[in-house]
Amino acid sequence: MDKKIGLLLHKLNIQYPNPSKLSTEVIEEKSKGNISNACSLIMKEHGCSYDEAYYALSIWPAEESLE
């Protein structure tokens, strides 16, 4: 199912930020619960929309990478 969604997004030319490439600042903001600030940082870093930034945050568990 994920592969089909990925192919559809590619065909529609929708590019979500890669969650594995989020900056340390974004990780820290998300961990503090500052989702809006984290999304703003992602939007600046990746040139994407708020919805795309929010999606990247929603599929990436920041807590695990801070260990």
pLDDT band at residue 67 using 50, 70 and 90 as cut-offs: very low
What is the C-alpha separation between 50 and 42, in angstroms, rounded? 8
Does residue 30 lie within any of the structural domains?
yes
Does residue 10 lie within any of the structural domains?
no
Number of structural domains in the chain:
1
Q: What is the mean pLDDT of residues 1-17?
A: 63
Does residue 25 lie within any of the structural domains?
yes
Does residue 1 lie within any of the structural domains?
no
Does residue 34 lie within any of the structural domains?
yes
pLDDT band at residue 21 using 50, 70 and 90 as cut-offs: confident
Does residue 40 lie within any of the structural domains?
yes
**Domain around 42:** 17-65
